[in-house]
Amino acid sequence: MIGNDIIDLRLTSGNNNWKRKGYLNKIFCEEEQDHILNSKDPELSVWLLWAMKESAYKAHQRRFDLPRRFNPKAFRCEIIEDKSTTIFGKVRIDTNSYHTKASISNEYIYCFATLNSSTNFVQKIYFEPTDLKLSLINAVSQLQNLPENKIFLKKSAQFIPYLNFENQKLFCNFSLTHHGNFSAIIVELRN
Amino acid sequence: MPEKEILEKLKAIVTPYVQNKEGLENFDEKTDFLNDLKINSANLVDVVLDVEDEFNIEIDTESMNGMLTAGDAKNIILKKMI
């Protein structure tokens, strides 16, 4: 299972909402709040942990076909290795845990989460407005050798996107994300 | 407070965060914050905090987890204001 999240830092910078009284406490547990407030760049840490939680949420929701919940605090982040522009982490929810890898540039944070650290995938990050639906269909048609014009993107009753081919649900785990000018797709490869 | 008034106040609260303004035209209990209004999930926290301030209530984690539509928010407010 897989999930991803992108944050356009040009939209979040100068937005001080996270400093509002009570804001951090709605999303982050005490340890996470300590980590944020003690980090070199608290604002960047807020959005890094947020992207970790979002991507893990997507992987978790897809894995169990869960109804939507706005429960960011239930997802607990741990930074495993911080190489400044690449950050490996773990996100736990109940007894489940997901591996995350985040890339940070001056303009964006991109993070994806997988159930297994050995998961193979293809992903594309777009730096200008893109038709993500078409990009996804194009990528999957190439991977599975299917005609592009017969693949359709749908949403389940739980609002989880899936792909249909000739009225059958395609066995294909993927995730889409979009924020501001940036967007990305990630597609899990069958081993 | 009449339910209609609660919904009107909710509409005013969410408006600054709405990315799909058309979604506001038929604002009612079924209006979905994420799907219909395209509110960014990070801004959903702002909505929760604004609702707390406006109605002078505290929205606990469990209630927040289920606050996805205007109707969900209205029911939480009604329950907490008693």
B58 neighbourhood in chain A, CB within 8 Å? none
Q: Which of B40, B49, B65 is opposite residue A70, by nearest beta carbon? A: B65
The HSE-up count of residue A8 (CA atoms within 13 Å, CB side) is 15
pLDDT in tens, chain A (191 residues): 999 999 999 999 877 889 999 999 999 999 999 999 999 999 999 999 999 999 999 999 999 999 999 999 999 999 999 999 999 999 999 999 999 999 999 999 999 999 999 999 999 999 999 999 999 999 999 999 999 999 999 999 999 999 999 999 999 999 999 999 999 999 999 86
Chain A / chain B CB contacts < 8 angstroms: 40
Q: CB of A86 within 8 Å of any CB in chain B?
A: no
Nearest CB among B42, B49, B66 relative to A50 is that of B42
Rg (alpha carbons) of chain A, rounded to whole number: 17
- Contact check, Cβ <8 Å, A54/B40: no
Nearest CA in chain B to A47: B42
Question: Which two tokens mark A23?
Answer: 């804001």
CA distance A60 to A54: 10
Phi, psi of A155 (to 5 degrees): -125, 135
Sign of CA dihedral A1, A36, A18, A83: negative
The reply to whether residue A70 touches residue B49, judged by beta carbons under 8 angstroms, is no
Task: Name the residue in chain B with its Cα closest to that of A73.
Answer: B61
- Would you say the ipTM is above 0.95? no
Report the alpha-carbon distance of residue B20 to residue B16 in Å, rounded: 11
Alpha carbon distance A121, A174 (integer Å): 9
Interacting residues of B56 by C-beta distance below 8 A, sequence separation 6+: none
- Whole-structure pTM value: 0.95
Residues in B closer than 8 angstroms to A12, CB to CB, are 42
Across the interface, which of B35, B44, B46 has its CB nearest the CB of A70? Answer: B44
